[in-house]
Every structure is written in structure tokens, then in C-alpha cells.
Amino acid sequence: MLKVDVEKRYGAKRIAAAFETAGQVTALFGPSGAGKTTIVEMIAGLVTPDRGRVTLGDRVLFDAARRIDVPAHRRRVGYVFQDARLFPHLSVARNLNYGRWMRGLKADRANENRIVEMLGIGALLGRRPAGLSGGERQRVAIGRALLSEPEILLLDEPLASLDAARKDEVLPYLDRLRTETRMPIVYVTHVEAEAQRLSAESVRIDGS
């Protein structure tokens, strides 16, 4: 279970969130510009909050009062970025394996094949990110995050930069992600329908 209570100020703008996840999928829902991405970055350790606390299960990831700030690479928080961010110099297969190499995990062929099959990216393995469609990139990015064996997966508006046809291409895979893995998911979106479709509980983020 992820517990978050963080706050960050940029000049006059205040970005804050306090919530805890209960079910498998939690939606962070709010208008554009409310600071949803900043909140997710604070959970992942990519942005340092001014104040607050983040815990994942029994691990404290961040605690301003106790000066705890686990660096991003030790948090085991999978992050699927809105813009996918596949490494342009690596093939799809190497992108998928990157997290396993960096965490020194053993190769798990069965798990790998299951995830590749679930996301329908088997035909892309030898290709480079530059040759993929937006939907394909996003599916590879989900696979890459899953294969780094995180304890939770943060999906930051994975559909926002895709056109309608590409969205429909990715959505079924998100459903499979939810039903075929037990991975806890935080799903960030500004589209209420997406939030409702995927998750039972929803956290509202408002800018101030």
C-alpha cells in the first residue's frame, strides 16, 4: 500500500496531495496544470518534496521530518512516462531488459515472455524506438517498467499524447495489465472516463 502526503511550492504555486491506495488501481484525477506529474515524480524520487512523507508497504521512501530520501534508483517504483522515454540508442529488447540489468536481476524467460505477449510487442523486439508508433512505444514503456520488477507502477497519462485510434489500440492492454498482473497501479489522468474505466477508487487533485 502506498501512502502519500507531500507538498511542493514553486513560487506562488502550491502542489500538494494526501492519499493512500487501497485497491489494485488508484486514479489520480485532476485538470491539466494541477501538478499531477509533479506528485508522481515526488513518489518516484525524481522531485524532492518540500514537506511530507511517502511510504510504500513498510518502507519509508521519503520523510522530510526524519530526513529520509531514498534515491530514485532504489525505490523500486516503476514509472511509465507520458512521453514513453524509450532510450533512442537501444533496441526494444534492450530497453525491456534495461531495468533487469541495472537491478542485477536474474533473467526470467517465462515472465519476460508473458509480459511481451500480454502487451503484444513480440514483433517489435529487434526494432528501434524511432521506428515505433506512439501506441507501440507506450506498450514497450509499460513492459520496460514491469520488467524492472517494481513494487508499484505509476502510469502518468499514458494515453494523453496519442490520437483516438492509438488510444483504442492501447486501452485493451491496460485492461490486461490490470487483470493479468497483481501489480498495484497509480493511474494519472485528466480524463474522468479513463479514471472510471480502470479503477475503483479515485483521488482528486486540484491546483491551487
Partner 1 sequence: MEWVFTPEEWQAVRLSLRIAFWATLSALLPAFAVAHVLARRRFVGKTLLDAVIHLPLVIPPVVTGYLLLLAFGRKGPIGAFLERVFGFTFAFRWTGAALAAAIMGFPFLVRAIRLSIEAVDRRYEKAAASLGASPFWVLLTVTLPLALPGLIAGMVICFAKALGEFGATITFVSNIPGETQTLSAAIYTYTQVPNGDAQALRLTAISIVIALLALIASEWLARRATERLHGR
Binding interface with partner 1 (CB under 8 A):
44-46, 71-79, 81, 83, 85, 87-89, 98-99, 102-103, 127-128, 130-131, 144-145, 148
Smallest separation (angstroms) from partner 1 to the CB of 196 = 27
Amino acid at 76: R
Alpha-carbon separation of residue 32 from 35, 50, 194 (angstroms) = 8, 22, 14
| Rounded least distance, CB 103 to partner 1, Å | 4
Q: Which is nearer to partner 1, 3 or 98 (CB)?
A: 98
Instruction: Decide whether 44 or 202 has the Cβ nearer to partner 1.
Output: 44
Quick one: 85 or 197, whose CB is closer to partner 1?
85
C-alpha cell at 33: 496544470
Q: How far is the CB of 72 from partner 1 (least distance, A)?
A: 4
Number of Cβ within a 10 Å radius of residue 99: 19
Residue 110 class from Cβ within 10 Å (0-12 exposed, 13-18 middle, 19+ buried)? exposed
Q: How far is the CB of 136 from partner 1 (least distance, A)?
A: 12
CA of 60: how far to CAs of 8, 14, 20, 149, 198, in Å? 18, 23, 14, 18, 27
Looking at this protein, which amino acid is placed at residue 194?
Answer: E
Q: How far is the CB of 150 from partner 1 (least distance, A)?
A: 8
d(CA 165, CA 74): 37
Decide whether 128 or 176 has the Cβ nearer to partner 1: 128
CB 80 within 8 A of CB 153: yes
User: Closest CB to partner 1 among 17 and 84?
Assistant: 84
- Give the separation between CA 130 and CA 123, rounded to whole angstroms: 15
Least Å from the CB of residue 102 to partner 1: 4
Q: Which is nearer to partner 1, 130 or 193 (CB)?
A: 130
